[in-house]
Amino acid sequence: MRPRGVLKWPGITFPIESDAAQVLLGSPNGQAAGYFLAQHKHRFGKNKSIEKVTVFRPDKGNMPYLLFWVTDAPAGP
C-alpha cells in the first residue's frame, strides 16, 4: 500500500517557518537531524540550521522520505 497524498520526487517542500515543517522537525527523524547539527557544530566550523523540509515518495517502498535541507545559520544579533 502506498502512502496517500505523498507525491513522488520532487514531492512537496515546506519552508521551515511553516506549520508543516515545524511538525516534521518535531518528529523523531526531525529531532535527530537537529541533534546531529548541534552535536557536530565543531566539525562544520559554523552554525548550521535546517531551512526547509521536503516530503516525497520513493518509486518503491511504502514509507515517505523526509529530506532536511541544511544551510548556514543566520548570524545572531
Domain assignment of residue 59, given as a range? 12-72
Within-domain flag for 60: yes
- Name which of 2-6, 7-11, 35-39, 69-73 the model is least confident about: 2-6
Within-domain flag for 3: no
The H or E element spanning position 18 is none
pLDDT value of residue 3:
56
Within-domain flag for 23: yes
- The whole-number average pLDDT for the span 18-30 is 97
Within-domain flag for 6: no
Within-domain flag for 59: yes
- Is 58 in a helix, a strand, or coil? coil
Q: How far apart are the first and last CA of the chain?
A: 49
Query: Are the beta carbons of 57 and 7 closer than 8 angstroms?
Result: yes
- Grid cell for residue 50: 535546517
Regarding predicted confidence, which is higher, 25 or 62?
25
> What's the number of domains the chain is made of?
1
Taking alpha carbons only, the member of 33, 29, 27 closest to residue 51 is: 33
